[in-house]
Amino acid sequence: MQELLYAAGIAFVIALAVGPLVIPVLRRLKFGQSIREEGPQRHYAKAGTPTMGGVIILAALIVPTLVFAGESAEVWLALFVTVGHGVIGFVDDFIKVVRKRSLGLKARQKLLGQIVMAIALAYIASTYFGRGTDLWVPVTGINIDFGPLYYVLIFLVLVGTTNAVNLTDGLDGLAAGTTTVAAMAYAVIAMAFGKSDLAIFCVALAGATLGFLRYNIHPAQVFMGDTGSLALGGALAAVAVLTKTELLLVLVGGIFVIEALSVIIQVISFKSTGKRVFKMSPIHHHFELSGWSETKVVTVFWLVGTLFAALALVVLALSRTGGIKL
């Protein structure tokens, strides 16, 4: 328990300490965020705010994780997936901000990197960590063996989670706050599975994102960019795979799921009927355009995210007390 507290506390302090060092550098390098022209008008004032702040989160995450859980091969795999997605995001941010190419990396370039990480995660987890190739269905006790299709499943989990977190990162503090909650929930889940080293990784992630919030809360001094959002999504997906709780991730990251679904619904509706279901997607912009303040949207989403995480823990508890083999 002490190691969990130390890891979370050190990650939090590192994020607080690194922020004032990194933010001025990003500002001097003119790594400023561009704002969508079709977005809410109040966001125009955010143009030029430094982005790529995800490096703060990664620095704060890596140090305590290696200090307290550096001997765990599972933790190294989780870090590989997290940092790997962070690198993809950093390159994407760099191209968009420095090279002034609005689309950043091409989709196939991102997918190639994610395919490599998905294959590594699926192979190592199933072969060396006894993860197997089956999917556990909470409460029911059912395990569905995917066989070779397990690699496809893990790829979809990685891509789905990283994109969902990326879509959520549209308001000051929204993605960082909801990830803090999700990471704490997964720390409990990891402990329930006897994976204390992964729990250390999770609390370090929570401490890092909470420390980053000091500079990302409204009005944000820095944005995490794809550097942060892809890394956070990769981290949550990796822990879900290593704890064999991919379906629980749907609940733990309920806010991320809602954000992604709102975009999918909006696109399908507009292409098929020419009408929009929401005033703007992702759905947090819909509430903004409905008159909610940015801080109200973020606060409500944090609360809803907390309820989803709590529900996931209840489902886990029900599964265990029901005598279901996990």
Q: Was 134 annotated as part of a binding site?
A: no
How would DSSP label each residue in 80-137? HHHHHHHHHHHHHHHHHHTS--TT-S-HHHHHHHHHHHHHHHHHHHHHTS---SEEEE
In sequence order, what are the beta bridge partners of 136? 143
How far the first Cα of the chain sits from its last, in Å, is 23
Q: Was 143 annotated as part of a binding site?
A: no
Taking each helix axis as running N to C, give the angle between helix 73-97 and helix 225-242, from 0 to 180 degrees, rounded to the nearest 10. 160
DSSP 145: E
CB-based burial of residue 73 (10 Å sphere; 0-12 exposed, 13-18 middle, 19+ buried)? exposed
Please state, in angstroms and rounded to a whole number, the distance separating the CA atoms of residues 243 and 195: 8
**How are beta strands 142-145 and 134-137 bridged, if at all?**
antiparallel
**Cβ–Cβ < 8 Å for 93, 51:** yes
Annotated binding site for Mg(2+): 166, 226
Annotated binding site: 166, 226
